Amino acid sequence: MFVDDNAAFLMNLSLQLDGNIAYKLFSSPINALIEVNATGHSASQANEFFSRHTDSDDLSFSRQLIDLNLDEIHRLVHDERRFAEVSVIVVDYAMPEMNGLDFLKNLKNPNIKRVLLTGIADEKIAVKAFNEGLIDRFIMKNDKSALTSLNALIIELQNQYFEKAGKILRDALAIGAQRFLHDPAFAKIFNSLCWENHIVEYYLCNNPDGMLLLDAQGIMSRLVVYTDTDLQAQMEIAHEQNAPPAMLEELKRGKVPYFWKTRGHYHPDLTNWDHYLHVASTLQGNQAYHYALVKGSDLSVRDAIVTYYGYRDRRDQHNSKVKL
């Protein structure tokens, strides 16, 4: 979100933005404040994804476990509002309705990253605000080089915002089965996969454990992640279900299954079982992980997906019609 009472400056600024960034322009800080404070944010919504499961034999808090509602999380891919969350605000300091620092002090979401635009006369105010933690960065409006690096700054601050927002989920899952979430070695590989495949969203999955990945066009991939214990369990279930010997041999050779039609495990009703086995890579982190990126549609998510590019294009059309 960009807030500046100078409409011409806002329009010029928008021309310098990366085309992949969805944004909103406001020449009125009051209108901007009303909208941003009416928008939900990840930290406040996180509780919707959790429920407490209590051991019936022990009602003490120490015996309460956290259940994660993955179905509720996956419903987000059909909700455009997930893209409307404001992660970074760039606001001018000197505005007639309200100065930039007063605007930032009235934000309800304390996690939003804050960039203050300022002139030479207000530089000391900006430095003081930065030192006091009221803003994350400040930009001198007469510094053309700073504006040209704004794209990189926005991406950096967005990553910081969502890293903090996701901490609630990661902390709740610290003792769960998805140990790869807390393994630095796996995080490095995962970030590389996202970069190479232009992934803009990812959602935790189970049966099997892993991630549902979406690129900006809404094309889905599924990252399946197995530990040695997980693979052994798959093998035992396949044996019990009288799986074909050829399939069992492929599992022994290191392929990993993604039985999306049968909730993660082999079932005799499956035909063309070879379509559900995938060549895996192995990573040695805190433990061994066997993972495969299964590209294409994930049929566990059947309804139409609201894509980031679609949302961005609608925002661009809206911005072009807004009278600043």
User: Quick one: pLDDT at residue 168?
Assistant: 67
Instruction: Specify the pairing of strand 25-26 against strand 2-3.
Output: parallel
- C-alpha span between 169 and 292 (Å, rounded): 23
**Same-domain check for residues 82 and 40:** yes
Confidence band for 301, pLDDT divided at 50, 70 and 90: low
Q: Which domain holds residue 254?
A: 177-295
Q: Is residue 82 part of a domain?
A: yes
**Same-domain check for residues 187 and 95:** no
User: Total domain count for the chain?
Assistant: 2
**Same-domain check for residues 98 and 120:** yes
Convert 109-176 into a string of H (helix), E (strand) and C (coil). CCCCEEEEEECHHHHHHHHHHHHCCCCCEEEECCCHHHHHCHHHHHHHHHHHHHHHHCHHHHHHCCCC
The rounded mean pLDDT for the chain is: 83
Confidence band for 205, pLDDT divided at 50, 70 and 90: confident
pTM for the whole structure: 0.72
User: Quick one: pLDDT at residue 174?
Assistant: 60
Q: Is residue 25 part of a domain?
A: yes
- C-alpha span between 267 and 261 (Å, rounded): 9
**Same-domain check for residues 148 and 201:** no
**Same-domain check for residues 27 and 141:** yes
Average pLDDT over residues 298-313: 68
Confidence band for 56, pLDDT divided at 50, 70 and 90: very low
Residue among 179, 185, 262, 260 nearest 225 (CA):
179
**Same-domain check for residues 163 and 181:** no
Question: Is 60 exceeded by the pLDDT of residue 60?
Answer: no
Does residue 110 have a cis bond before it (omega within 30 degrees)? Answer: no
Confidence band for 226, pLDDT divided at 50, 70 and 90: very high
CB atoms within 10 A of CB 267: 14
Q: Is residue 314 part of a domain?
A: no
- C-alpha span between 127 and 6 (Å, rounded): 23
Confidence band for 62, pLDDT divided at 50, 70 and 90: very low
With beta carbons less than 8 A apart as the criterion, state whether 113 and 158 touch.
Answer: yes
Cβ-count burial 39-48 (b if 16+ within 10 Å, e if not):
eebbeebbee
Question: Is 90 exceeded by the pLDDT of residue 218?
Answer: no
Confidence band for 61, pLDDT divided at 50, 70 and 90: very low
Which amino acid is residue 130, in one-letter code? F
**Same-domain check for residues 227 and 86:** no
User: Among 16-25, 31-40, 65-74, 167-176, whose mean pLDDT is lowest?
Assistant: 65-74
Structure-token pair, residue 34: 């009303």
Domain harbouring 60, CATH code: 3.40.50.2300
Element holding 186 (H helix, E strand): helix 184-196
The residue among 61 and 308 whose pLDDT is bigger is 308
What does the pLDDT look like over 243-285, one tens digit per residue?
999 999 999 999 999 998 888 899 999 888 999 999 999 999 9
**Same-domain check for residues 6 and 86:** yes
Question: Is 90 exceeded by the pLDDT of residue 92?
Answer: yes
Q: Is residue 322 part of a domain?
A: no
The residue among 297 and 84 whose pLDDT is bigger is 84
Residue among 238, 237, 259, 236 nearest 247 (CA):
238
Question: Is 80 exceeded by the pLDDT of residue 55?
Answer: no
Confidence band for 308, pLDDT divided at 50, 70 and 90: confident
Confidence band for 305, pLDDT divided at 50, 70 and 90: confident
**Same-domain check for residues 71 and 151:** yes
User: Quick one: pLDDT at residue 74?
Assistant: 67
Q: Is residue 305 part of a domain?
A: no
Q: Which residue has the tokens 């070695």?
A: 185
**Same-domain check for residues 99 and 213:** no
Q: Is residue 195 part of a domain?
A: yes
Structure-token pair, residue 197: 């495949």
